[in-house]
C-alpha cells in the first residue's frame, strides 16, 4: 500500500444550514453547493488528486420533501447537460455510483452519455455518488457472489477481500486515502463503508458551500503529516 494521495472522498454536508444562516431557502444552499463542487473538482485535479468521489444524494435522501428532491434532480439535470462540460473539457472522466434504477429515465440517459463521452480521460476522475447507500451496495454485492456460488461459478474459498472489492460500484478505483465531511457532523452516514477501512478521516465545521480550495489544501497538508500504518507498528 502506498502513502501517495490518490483518492479523496467527500460528504458535502451543510447546504441547508448555509442557506438558513443567510435567510435563504434550502435550495439556494444546494445551488451554491453545486458550484462549490465544480470549484473543488478543478482544485483537486490541479493539486494532482486522481479521484474525487462526492456524496451528492443518498438513498435516504429520497425521503426529503418532494420539492427538495425535485430541485436536486433538476439541478443534476442542469449539471449533466451543461455545467459538467467545464471539467469535462479539462480532461476529467465523470462517472456515477448508486442505485440508478431509482432515478428518472432521462437522468439515467444523461449519466450514461457523460460516462461514455469521458471514459477515455485518465488524468482525473470525478465520481458522483447518486442514490447511493453503502449497505445497499454491499448487500447487492454479497447477493451476486452468493448466486455465483449457488450456480457453481464461484467457490466459497475464492471469496476474498479482493473479490468483494472487485464487485463493488467502485471496483476500478483505489480506496479513498482521505474522507472529508463538511458541515460539522462527525459520522460517515452509510458512505463507502467497505472502502474507507483505512482512510484518514477529516471533519470540518465549514458548510459545504463555503468549502474552499484553501480548505482542501489544508486537509492535504495535514494528511501528508499523518503517518498511515495500516495496523502495523
Residue 49 binding ligand FPP, by CB under 6 A: no
Is 61 part of the annotated catalytic residue set?
A: yes
**Phi, psi (5° rounding) for residue 24?**
-110, 160
From the list 33-41, 118-126, 138-146, 171-179, the region that binds ligand FPP by CB under 6 A is 33-41
Pick 77 or 228: Cβ nearer ligand FPP? 77
Cα–Cα dist 226/65, whole Å: 41
The three-class DSSP label of residue 133 is: coil
| Strand, coil or helix: 69 | helix
Q: Select from 8, 10, 37, 43 the one that contacts ligand FPP (CB under 6 A).
A: 37
Which set of grid coordinates corresponds to residue 162? 479482493
Of 210, 215, 223, the C-alpha closest to 33 is 210
The upper half-sphere exposure of residue 178, i.e. CA atoms within 13 Å in the direction of its Cβ, equals 29
Binding string to ligand FPP for residues 203 to 222, with x set by CB under 6 A, is what?
Answer: -----x--------------
Q: Which of 5, 73, 75, 206 binds ligand FPP (CB under 6 A)?
A: 75
Member of 51, 71, 79, 223 binding ligand FPP (CB under 6 A): 79
Quick one: which segment of 30-38, 135-143, 144-152, 210-218 binds ligand FPP (CB under 6 A)?
Answer: 30-38
Per-residue contact track with ligand FPP, 120 to 159, x per CB under 6 A?
Answer: --------x-------------------------------
# chain residues binding ligand FPP, by CB under 6 A: 18
Site for ligand FPP in 170-199 (CB under 6 A): 183
Indicate whether 12 belongs to the interface with ligand FPP (CB under 6 A).
yes
Q: Residue 61 class from Cβ within 10 Å (0-12 exposed, 13-18 middle, 19+ buried)?
A: middle
Q: Give yes or no for a contact between 168 and 145, defined as CB atoms under 8 angstroms apart.
A: no
Beta bridge partners of 55: 11, 129
Q: What positions carry a catalytic annotation?
A: 13, 61
Amino acid at each position: 500500500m502506498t502513502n501517495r494521495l490518490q483518492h479523496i472522498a467527500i460528504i458535502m454536508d451543510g447546504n441547508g444550514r448555509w442557506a438558513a444562516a443567510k435567510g435563504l431557502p434550502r435550495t439556494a444552499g444546494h445551488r451554491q453547493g453545486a458550484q462549490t463542487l465544480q470549484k473543488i473538482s478543478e482544485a483537486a485535479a490541479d493539486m494532482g488528486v486522481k479521484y474525487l468521489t462526492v456524496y451528492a444524494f443518498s438513498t435516504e435522501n429520497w425521503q426529503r420533501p418532494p420539492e427538495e428532491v425535485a430541485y436536486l434532480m433538476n439541478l443534476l439535470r442542469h449539471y449533466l447537460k451543461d455545467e459538467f462540460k467545464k471539467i469535462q473539457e479539462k480532461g476529467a472522466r465523470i462517472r456515477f455510483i448508486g442505485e440508478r434504477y431509482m432515478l428518472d429515465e432521462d437522468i439515467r440517459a444523461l449519466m450514461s452519455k457523460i460516462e461514455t463521452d469521458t471514459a477515455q480521460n485518465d488524468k482525473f476522475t470525478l465520481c458522483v455518488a447518486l442514490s447511493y447507500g453503502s449497505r445497499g451496495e454491499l448487500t447487492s454485492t454479497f447477493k451476486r457472489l452468493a448466486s455465483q456460488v449457488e450456480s457453481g461459478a464461484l467457490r466459497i474459498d475464492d471469496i476474498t477481500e479482493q473479490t468483494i472489492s472487485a464487485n463493488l460500484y467502485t471496483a476500478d478505483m483505489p480506496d479513498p486515502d482521505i474522507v472529508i465531511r463538511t458541515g460539522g457532523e462527525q459520522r460517515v452516514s452509510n458512505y463507502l463503508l467497505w472502502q474507507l477501512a483505512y482512510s484518514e478521516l477529516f471533519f470540518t465545521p465549514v458548510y459545504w458551500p463555503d468549502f474552499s480550495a484553501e480548505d482542501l489544501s489544508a486537509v492535504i497538508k495535514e494528511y501528508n503529516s499523518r503517518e498511515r500504518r495500516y495496523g502495523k507498528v
